[in-house]
Amino acid sequence: ATPTAILVACGQAAARGILFRGGDILEQTGRIDLVAFDKTGTLTHGRPAVTGLYPLGGDETELLEAAARCESGSGHPLARAIVAEANRRGIHPPLEAGAETLPGLGVVLTGDRDEIRVGKAELAAPDTVIPGLSPDAGETVVFVSRNGRCLGAITLADDIRPEAADVIAGLRRAGIRTAILTGDREQTAHHVAAALGIDSVAAGMTPAQKAEWLDRQKQKGRRVMMVGDGINDAVALATADVGCAMSGGTDIALENSDLVLTRPDLRRLLLALRYGRDSLKIIR
Ligand code: ADP
Ligand code: MG
Instruction: Count the domains in the chain.
Output: 2
- Ligand 1 centre to CA of 45 (Å) is 14
Q: What is the CATH number of the domain that holds 81?
A: 3.40.1110.10
Please list every protein residue whose CB sits less than 6 Å from any atom of ligand 1. 38-40, 71, 74, 76, 78-79, 104-107, 118-120, 140, 142, 182-184, 231-232
pLDDT per residue over 149-165, tens digit each? Answer: 999 999 999 999 999 99
Active-site annotation, residues: 38
pLDDT per residue over 53-86, tens digit each? Answer: 999 987 999 999 999 999 999 888 899 999 999 9
Whether residue 86 is found in the same domain as residue 68: yes
Q: Whose CA is nearest to atom 16 of ligand 1?
A: 120
- Ligand 2 centre to CA of 284 (Å) is 39
Whether residue 131 is found in the same domain as residue 186: no
Task: Enumerate the β-bridge partners of residue 160.
Answer: 44
- Ligand 1 centre to CA of 184 (Å) is 6
Q: Whose CA is nearest to atom 24 of ligand 1?
A: 106
Whether residue 235 is found in the same domain as residue 99: no
Whether residue 80 is found in the same domain as residue 125: yes
Whether residue 84 is found in the same domain as residue 170: no
Give the domain-ending residue among 100, 123, 157. Answer: 157
- Ligand 2 centre to CA of 115 (Å) is 25
pLDDT number for residue 104: 85
Whether residue 11 is found in the same domain as residue 62: no
pLDDT digits (tens), the chain, 284 positions: 478 888 999 999 999 999 999 889 999 999 999 999 999 889 998 899 999 999 998 799 999 999 999 999 988 889 999 999 999 999 999 888 889 999 889 999 998 889 999 999 999 999 899 999 999 999 999 999 999 999 999 999 999 999 999 999 999 999 999 999 999 999 999 999 999 999 999 999 998 999 999 999 999 999 999 999 766 678 899 999 999 998 765 565 567 789 999 888 999 999 999 999 999 987 65
Whether residue 17 is found in the same domain as residue 112: no
Average pLDDT, the chain: 92
The parent domain of residue 247 ranges over: 2-45+159-281
Ligand 1 atom with least separation from CA of 233: 4
Whether residue 221 is found in the same domain as residue 236: yes
pLDDT number for residue 57: 86
pLDDT number for residue 5: 87
DSSP for 197-240, written as a single string: T-SEEE-S--HHHHHHHHHHHHHTT--EEEEE-STT-HHHHHHS
User: Which ligand number lies closest to the CA of residue 67?
Assistant: 1
